[in-house]
Amino acid sequence: MADKYFGLGGDDISNSGDSAGDQYLTMSAAIAGSTAGDTIFLTDGALPAPSNRHDLNDERTLKAVNWRAGILQANSGYSDRILDTDGSLLGSEDIYLYGLTLDGEDRVADCLVIERSGSSSLVDVYIDTVAFQDWTNEAIDYNTMGGRLELVGCTFSSSGASAGVLEKVEGPGSGIGYEGAAVVKINHCDITLDGRTSSATDIIFLAGHDTVTHAKQVNIQDVTIDLTNTATTASSMVVVEGIDDVVVEGVTGTLTAANSTADCFGIAVSADGYSNGTADNALILRNKVFFNTPSGFAIQFGNSTADSRMAGGRFSGNYVKGQYYASDSPHGYALGQDTTAEMVSNVAEDFFVNYLISKVNGTTEVSGNLSVNCYGSSYYIKGAYPAGSTGAVPVVSNNVAVVDSATEIRTLGVITVTSQFGVATGGVTIEDNLVIVEDVTKMLANGAHLARQDTGQTATWRRNTYIIPDTVSASEDLFYDGDTYGGACNFAEWSGLHTDERLIQLPQAEVSALVNAYKLQADAASGEAGGAGCGSLGIGI
């Protein structure tokens, strides 16, 4: 057989399907008139299914004649899905979709449902430059636990109150890789969901199954996301759980959930999920997250209060920006419990906590990062290297924190060492960092400090530099030590406890110039002022 055409204005009886001017009406006729490996072409126009949905139940390439001008819709009396692989595909039968539009008309639940015939059928589905629009539940219902799914150059846009894009949860008989080796790639896609008004949503949520040994791979690169949710429930852009060697790179996303009372996530990778999976060697690189919500984490690497089961990995070159809240406490980055990752050359602005380092184990490196205008603790070290940890203690070094005169530090220290839910910090080295505060009087008025170590914590502080205006006396209680002084202390007292700590007092104009220079670096990382971007900040002290 040969390639066939179908679409609006066609005829299954009198037409041959051999050309765009002699097309069939239905997809089923085009499939029947072709054979495995052929291409069936969708002509221009919006084509409703003759009954319920369109079924792509044999190995074919489905391609629009003109880019995105061929549009598939569900039957007007059916609201479950537009296109379905029909559960009859075998492992050797792959599906290719190119350049068409799947239109949910603001009434159909799912644009595409991917099914297969039996657990041994690991179907590969390749989707290239397809437009998914106006669905109400999921753009893609990925009802398979193995095989390959690749999305390249696709667009997703919906104002549906409960719309998500791709979700695969884990469970006793579910999850990525449950039935066989699995690969999910999402590259160069644009996602806009601007009508969320109810229920929690994860735009992309992929969870692995840990009780099988099948290989699992997730790669999400160069994706733009714009998510708006006016509900009080949680919202997340990208969540991957229980899958090793995850790559999330080049994602640019804006999450706006101003009314949320639950933790939201921009990008989160962890081993959370079914049973005891791992998420080793994750890479979170060159992402930008604009996080406009009062609770949660712009980028989270592991679980901050539970075993993350994550060895190795790196997140680097990322930029996150929050906004000021008088009483809420959103976080920029989080390194979670028992992680041993590298957090290097990132930028964070305008969170209550810009960098959370929570219950991390040995060999963790936090270096070369920039914190701008944090209104709580810029580097918040909680329960690091707890009792029983092995290897070298975590190192927090060569980082910068600047706070301008418009920002009010509400509490804590710019660098803080404390416990996490009763678990004390058993060891951390804090060295060669730079702290610059443009208006110290605001900090002191709130009982906040340049550096703070709470009672019962173990930390080595050395060669850190603190720059403040020369209008503030060094005898002020700029620091906090819970063990020796029971609270606030001045620089002479603080430096007597530590090695080569430095307090530098400069004219106000010079302090302001330094702060502004680092703010310009943050602008360059965000893209607001050009520049090399996050990956080559050149932060120095």
CA distance 279 to 294: 27
Residues 387 and 442 in one domain: yes
Compute CA distances 189 → 150, 195, 315, 384, whole Å: 11, 19, 22, 38
Examine residue 470 and state whether it is found in any structural domain, yes or no. Answer: yes
Identify which of 118, 113, 90 has the alpha carbon closest to the alpha carbon of residue 102: 113
Give the model's pLDDT for residue 532.
39
Residues 383 and 465 in one domain: yes
Examine residue 335 and state whether it is found in any structural domain, yes or no. Answer: no
Examine residue 308 and state whether it is found in any structural domain, yes or no. Answer: no
Does residue 521 contact residue 401 with C-beta atoms inside 8 Å? no
CA distance 246 to 186: 12
Kindly tell me the sign of the dihedral angle through the C-alpha atoms of 187, 189, 194, 199.
negative
Residues 87 and 14 in one domain: yes
> Within the chain, which residues score under 50 in pLDDT?
171-172, 274, 529-541
Give the model's pLDDT for residue 390.
79
Give the model's pLDDT for residue 233.
85
Residues 150 and 123 in one domain: no
Examine residue 283 and state whether it is found in any structural domain, yes or no. Answer: yes
CA distance 373 to 404: 6
Residues 263 and 289 in one domain: yes
Beta bridge partners of residue 342, listed in sequence order? 314, 365
Kindly tell me the sign of the dihedral angle through the C-alpha atoms of 26, 28, 29, 34.
positive
CA distance 392 to 377: 24
Does residue 81 contact residue 53 with C-beta atoms inside 8 Å? yes
Residues 120 and 178 in one domain: no
Joined tokens for residue 303: 């679980």
Does residue 494 contact residue 510 with C-beta atoms inside 8 Å? no
Residues 110 and 159 in one domain: no
CA distance 510 to 515: 9
Residues 271 and 152 in one domain: yes
Give the model's pLDDT for residue 144.
60
Joined tokens for residue 284: 């979170």
Residues 66 and 187 in one domain: no
In this prediction the pTM is 0.93
Total number of domains constituting the chain:
3
CA distance 199 to 1: 48
Examine residue 305 and state whether it is found in any structural domain, yes or no. Answer: no
DSSP string, 5-29: EE-TT--TTT--SSSTTS-BSSHHH
Overall size of the chain counted in residues: 541
Examine residue 276 and state whether it is found in any structural domain, yes or no. Answer: yes
Quote the domain boundaries for residue 277: 145-293
Joined tokens for residue 317: 């070159």
Residues 267 and 359 in one domain: no
Give the model's pLDDT for residue 290.
98
Give the model's pLDDT for residue 535.
42
Last residue of a domain, one of 81, 109, 144: 144
For the chain, how many helices (H) and strands (E)?
4, 48
Residues 415 and 403 in one domain: yes
pLDDT per residue as tens digits for the range 206-262 = 887 665 556 678 999 999 999 998 888 888 999 998 888 899 999 999 999 999 888
Pairing of strands 479-481, 487-489: antiparallel
Beta bridge partners of residue 331, listed in sequence order? 297, 353
List of residues 6+ apart from 369 with CB closer than 8 A:
343, 344, 345, 346, 347, 348, 355, 399, 400, 539
List of residues 6+ apart from 436 with CB closer than 8 A:
400, 401, 402, 403, 466, 467, 468, 511, 514, 515, 518
Residues 397 and 513 in one domain: yes
